[in-house]
Amino acid sequence: MTPSSSLAAVIGAGAVPRTEVVKKIWGYIKKNSLQDKKNRRMINADDKLKAVFGGKSQVSMFEMTKLVNKHLS
């Protein structure tokens, strides 16, 4: 899968399998402590992830997968 420029800012520009995309996003979320402290199912977006999440500042884990898929071709 080839990531869009927004997604490439988070996971890198190279083509990667869909499973690796999710792993890399989770790595980014954990590295930057973006998982909500009270509700662990929610992801708080920084500027890079906001571009991937369609401008939303917080999304659920399930919604995240749907939004990320729009950035893959």
The secondary structure of 54-72 as a DSSP string is TT-SEEEHHHHHHHHHTTB
Rounded Cα–Cα distance for residues 32 and 57 (Å): 15
Low-confidence residues of the chain: pLDDT under 50: none
| pLDDT value of position 63 | 96
Domains of the chain (ranges plus CATH)?
5-69 (1.10.245.10)
| pLDDT value of position 37 | 96
Question: Three-state DSSP class for 16?
Answer: coil
